[in-house]
Structure 1
């Protein structure tokens, strides 16, 4: 439970790091970095989505 709370907080503050901790280096991380560079809010939404889904 604490791990999920930490990922949610990181998703709000530093989305690419949250995605990296959840999925590692891959397509999801690349998508999140691009979204954060374009506009920050979509990167936050994507990070929350990645960290909250199971798997």
Structure 2
């Protein structure tokens, strides 16, 4: 995982997932988790992009 991906995963988790996987179930899950709370979105973004 590059430094840019790490920074984007921290600041905008759905964007990081979108850039890696495009529009799909991973992106929707990331949006939902980020809306619930920022930390679950970040954790999921790191999990999906690793």
* 1:15 matched residue in structure 2: 13
Tell me the matched-pair count.
50
Bigger radius of gyration among the two: 1
Cα RMSD of the aligned pairs, angstroms, is 1.1
Structure 2, gaps ≥5 residues long: none
| SS class of match (1:25) | coil
**4+ aligned runs moved over 6 Å, structure 1:** none
- 2:33 corresponds to which of 16, 35, 52: 35
What is the TM-score normalised by the length of structure 2? 0.92
Q: Cα deviation per residue 1:24-50 (whole Å; 9 max; x = unaligned)?
A: 000000000000001110000000111
